[in-house]
Amino acid sequence: GKEINDARAEASKTLAEASTEAQRRINTAEVASTELVKSLSADVERFQKLRPSFERNPNLFREQALVSAMGSVLTNVQYKAMLPAPLDGKATELRLLLNPASAEAKPQK
């Protein structure tokens, strides 16, 4: 009687919810797949446009990529210092005093 009808109603409700959730997940995956394909296609197109430049002058291409990356990385850095490469090709030693404000604030003994 009533218990069987309640169980059937609950089963029907659960199946409808599961079906809706499954369709939502499928739709989300299809959108993600489409976006990934678009992104990869754009990457392929960009690579194909840049490849001849790279093949003509790989060093210039690397330098341009480095400058672009450094621009992104250093955008929000408050203090920047560039250390030029030595002209004689010898190694350069760099010594840094980190957090000089706290060093100055220490009381003298």
SS (H, E, C) 10-69: HHHHHHHHHHHHHHHHHHHHHHHHHHHHHHHHHHHHHHHHHHHHHHHCHHHHHHHHHHHH
Nearest-angstrom CA–CA distance, 15 and 9 = 10
Q: In this predicted model, which residue has the larger pLDDT, 99 or 102?
A: 99
Percentage of the chain exceeding pLDDT 70: 91
Q: What is the pLDDT of residues 50-68, one digit of tens each?
A: 899 889 999 998 898 899 9
CB 26 within 8 A of CB 20: no
> pTM for the complete prediction?
0.49
**Poorest-confidence range of 8-22, 33-47, 56-70, 88-102?**
88-102
